[in-house]
Amino acid sequence: MGTSSTWLAFSVAAVAIMSSTLDRGASNVILPNIAEEFVSDIPTAQWINTTFLLMVAALLLPMGRLTDILGSKKIIVSGLIVFLFGGITSALAPSIEILISGRAIQGIGGAMVQGTAFVIAISALGERQRGKAAGLVIMFGGLANVAGTTVGGLVTAYAGWRSVFIVTSLVSGAGALLAFLALDTQRGNQIYNSKFDWYGATLCVSTLSGLLFSIAMSAHFGWSLIPLSIIALSLVSGGLFVWRSLVTDSPILDLQLFKRPIFALSILSNLICFTGMSSALFLLPFYLKYVQGYPPDKVASVFIPAAACMAIVSPLSGRLSDRFGTRIFTVGGLLLVTIGLMMLSTLDESSNSLIPYFAMIPINVGMGAFYGPNNSAVLAVTPTSNQSSVIGFINLIRNTGSVIAIPVAATIVTLAMNSMGFEANLSAVNDGSDMELISSFIKGMRISFVIFTSASLIGMIMSLYPSPKLFEN
């Protein structure tokens, strides 16, 4: 592949990733405004983002496999169009239920995009630059985070939160057009086995959607009979999925890879890292808006410097890990995430207004340093014939971390507020609210950050496992 066609193909991956990340960054900032307009409590409001993440997580593995069979162009163009349609539905939603449905549609498109864009990036740059490819993808994701928080803050301040979904839909439409034109002569990923395991895919989707849905639902109903029953059914489905993966010749995911310690530990530390970062992205806007009284544009300003730092660090760490190994970057990255979360766990009503700014910088820098090398470590012990499905699995883990973080954090806040005699309804919190009500939210938020700080520290210890030899597959 020539230099121009290489970077043209990579640009498709970059724009596709940016369209999804732009929406994520914007929706995090506008979530309190949406909850306020629809007079929704925390557990209900969190479904706006959780539904999107759940759909992405449940469909990533099958979409990764379909990319191998149908080619990158068909999947990514279709995914961007579906994402656009979901965005318009969200923008026009007359109720929070319709808005959540629009987010579900966006989640389907997001799974098609995320399960394909990284494959295109690595294919464009080549196996020996997989760390660089991952770093560049994160860089564009970081730039989209900057743009997303800016769009979310400024557009909401001047045109309302509905306009945010219109803007992100336009970006998705532009990405679909670029992919259609730029990949016109691209074959996509090499097809290693044209047989798609529909039975395995059904079991995979039912297992993941059931487990993640029940975890998310627990934030609203608690650990009652309904979510526990869904978990039980999901475990049965998961057992069947494992059995199917072990007996079929073309599994959705080769589970034998988990016998390799670096693969299993890297995947688990990836999950922990994204869980910690997502907890900050979910809780901090509520703290800034309702405790500190920030308007949407000022809320966005807290996340912009940190996202810019991640965009700078990620391509550097990815490129350097291709030369010097992955461990120093994965361990160092998670150490920074741990420090940032620890800083957030100290926030209260009288905290210095600069602490959120300073806390988000090590979290994002750590994320940028960690992600590319972590992906490279996983792919270094993955046979080339399984690479697309594993890339889909990596993206699945990333989104699963986000899906887990939101309901867990919401549940902790809900329990803390209820323990002090208040309902978990942030739309009732304002500058004139009773100080005990504000304190109940802060109590839950701080407990959440302490828990996620501890988890991040465990992930850092896991990353101490010796780095794999580069390009051994």
A 10 A CB-CB count for 104 gives 17
Q: What is 3-185+250-462's CATH number?
A: 1.20.1250.20
**At 197, which amino acid appears?**
D
| Model pTM score | 0.74
For the chain, what percent of residues have pLDDT higher than 90?
15
Six-digit token pair at 161? Answer: 């939160």
What does the DSSP 8-state code read for residue 191? Answer: P
Q: Which of 304, 320, 305, 313 is nearest to 368 (CA)?
A: 313
| DSSP 8-state symbol, 290 | I
Over residues 8-31, the mean pLDDT reads: 78
Q: DSSP assignment of 2-53, as one string?
A: -HHHHHHHHHHHHHHHHHHHHHHHHHHHHHHHHHHHTT--HHHHTHHHHHHH
Element housing 225 (H / E)? helix 225-247
Q: What is the mean pLDDT of residues 37-45?
A: 74
> What crossing angle do the helices spanning 130-150 and 296-324 adopt, rounded to 10°?
170
Structural domain spans, the chain: 3-185+250-462, 197-249
What is the DSSP code (8-state) at residue 129? G
pLDDT tens digits, 61-91: 888 777 777 777 888 899 999 999 999 999 9
Instruction: Compute the average pLDDT of residues 116-125.
Output: 77
**DSSP states of 296-344 as a string?**
HHHHHHHHHHHHHHHHHHHHHHHHHHHHH-SHHHHHHHHHHHHHHHHHH
Q: Report the distance separating Cα 95 and Cα 37, nearest Å.
A: 10
Rounded Cα distance, 388 and 68, in Å: 7
Q: Which of 216, 206, 214 is nearest to 404 (CA)?
A: 216
Tens digit of each residue's pLDDT (9 = 90 or more) over 387-438? 767 877 887 787 778 777 877 887 788 788 777 777 655 555 555 567 777 7
Question: Which residues, 6+ apart, have CB-to-CB distance to 306 below 8 Å?
Answer: 357, 360, 361, 363, 364, 365
Span of 44-58, 195-209, 216-230, 377-391 with lowest mean pLDDT: 216-230
Residue owning tokens 């987010």: 103
H-only helix segments in 95-197: 96-125, 130-150, 156-159, 162-182
C-alpha of 473 from chain center = 28
| Confidence at 246, pLDDT banded by 50, 70, 90 | confident
Highest averaged pLDDT of the listed ranges 29-38, 83-92, 241-250: 83-92
Q: How far apart are CA 347 and CA 352, in angstroms?
A: 8
Q: Is pLDDT of 380 > 90?
A: no
296-324 vs 355-380: helix axis angle to the nearest 10?
30
Cβ neighbours for 414, distance < 8 A, ≥ 6 positions apart = 42, 43, 219, 424, 444
Computed over every residue of the chain, the mean pLDDT equals: 80
- Record the tokens describing residue 448, joined without a space: 């959440």
